[in-house]
Amino acid sequence: MPVSDHALIQAWKQVLTLSRLAPGQTVTILTSAATHPQTLSCALVATQAMGAIVNRLDLPPVNADKALSRDPLAYLGTTALTGNRAAIAALKESDLVLDLMTLLFSPEQHDILKTGTKILLAVEPPEVLVRMVPSEADRERVSAANARLSRAKEMTVTSDAGTDLRCPLGEFPAISEYGFVDEPGRWDHWPSGFVLTWPNEGGASGRIVLDRGDILLPQKGYVADRVALTVERGFATRIEGGLDAELLNDYMASFNDPQAYAISHIGWGLQPRARWSTLGLYDREASIGMDARAYEGNFLFSLGPNNEAGGRRTTACHIDIPLRNCTVSLDGEEVVRQGKVLDGWSSK
């Protein structure tokens, strides 16, 4: 059901307040051809109502000749900011950038964040934004999980479907996503609600089994038959199964890049307002699938780059795969048991 402008403006004001937007600060709203018009118009009203100096920077879309999908995460690295010094300078001079375009996995984003500019990504449909408007409680829960993950030296993941994965940790930082940007130089994504890190380079090993109902992104589809990934020295060396495995193999082969098969970020979902079932209710081009990435208790792993964490892999291929019913352990202590988060938060 569509949301009213009033409801979306109020949601924007809550997110901007949590992001510590103050009167007189400069906000640049980054847009492109696929930006949702209601999200943009309500962001303009909310930022001006809070006393900000507001700019809009509209940039042309890129990568259409390379990507196999219209999804903004289907081809990474090259963005409309690549080589665009004037646009980069404007964003660096901003206190807050509202990214309604999708500027992810790019060196330009890292350079902008280093100046202290905050960047908040918001590209889901307005009704998804309103349903999962973040709160201080989201930050507290995700931050507690982040602190636990930061201390861990090993993550293991198992499931009745056959997953048995070991990931040594410590080389890369733990990252928390709770939906707003309350510190200088912070990036976040509204909506979200999960914690993640990356295995030590070349360290992940074992087997990952996608069961019926698990999700592939950016394909935005539920797996119909089991898909088995053999993981050796940090890479998926075999992807086996039926039609879903064939489709995944063909898609990844189109990038012609061995780095696409590396195990990228790993973590678990902590957002109770996100739903596993929501993906089937939207047109594939309407959403990038944040419900699937954030729903409470998933084990979310990915294939592809690690440059977001300071690594060297910058492949254009990025696959996110949230799994149900997994048990996730840190140094032998379970934090998720068969898809149920064990932090006690649901009972608070």
Dump pLDDT digits (tens) for 78-119.
788 999 999 999 999 999 999 999 988 788 999 999 999 999
> Per DSSP, which regions of 190-338 are E strands?
194-197, 205-210, 215-216, 221-222, 227-232, 235-241, 263-269, 299-303, 319-323, 326-330, 333-337
Task: List, for residues 13-68, the tens digit of each pLDDT value.
Answer: 999 999 999 999 999 999 999 999 999 999 999 999 999 999 999 999 888 787 78
What residue spans of the chain are helical by DSSP H? 5-18, 37-49, 85-92, 107-114, 126-131, 136-151, 243-253, 290-294
For residue 298, is it left (φ>0), alpha (ψ between -120 and 50) or beta? beta
**How many other C-beta atoms can be found within 10 angstroms of the C-beta atom of residue 87?**
19
Cα angle 293, 187, 299; round to 5: 20
- Same domain? For 267 and 332 the reply is yes
Task: List, for residues 129-174, the tens digit of each pLDDT value.
Answer: 999 999 999 999 999 999 999 999 999 999 999 999 999 999 999 9
Q: Are 30 and 59 in contact (CB under 8 A)?
A: yes
- Same domain? For 117 and 167 the reply is no
- Same domain? For 215 and 169 the reply is yes
Q: Is the pLDDT of residue 347 over 80?
A: no
Residue 346: per-residue pLDDT: 60
d(CA 158, CA 166): 9
Domain boundary among 131, 164, 185: 131
Total structural domains within the chain: 2
Domain boundary among 97, 131, 165: 131
Domain boundary among 115, 131, 147: 131
CATH code of the domain containing 92 = 3.40.50.2300
Tell me whether residue 347 is exposed, middle or buried, using C-beta atoms within 10 angstroms of its C-beta: 0 to 12, 13 to 18, 19 or more.
Answer: exposed
- Same domain? For 83 and 21 the reply is yes
- Same domain? For 33 and 175 the reply is no
Alpha-carbon Rg for the chain in angstroms = 19
Q: Is the pLDDT of residue 311 over 90?
A: no
Q: Give the full edge-to-edge strand order of the sheet including 227-232.
A: 235-241, 227-232, 205-210, 164-168, 154-159, 326-330, 333-337, 340-341
DSSP H or E segment with residue 161: none
Q: Phi and psi at residue 239, in whole multiples of 5°? A: -125, 110
- Same domain? For 106 and 190 the reply is no
- Same domain? For 165 and 311 the reply is yes
Amino acid at 61: P
> CA 264: distance to chain centroid?
12
Q: Is the pLDDT of residue 348 over 70?
A: no
Q: Phi and psi at residue 318, in whole multiples of 5°? A: -140, 120
- Same domain? For 169 and 316 the reply is yes
- Same domain? For 9 and 24 the reply is yes
Tell me the whole-structure pTM to 2 decimals.
0.95
Q: Are 215 and 248 in contact (CB under 8 A)?
A: no
Number of residues that make up the chain: 348
- Same domain? For 64 and 157 the reply is no
- Same domain? For 202 and 303 the reply is yes
d(CA 176, CA 195): 5
Domain hosting residue 20, numbered range: 5-131
- Same domain? For 153 and 282 the reply is yes
d(CA 203, CA 266): 13
Q: Phi and psi at residue 197, in whole multiples of 5°? A: -150, -170
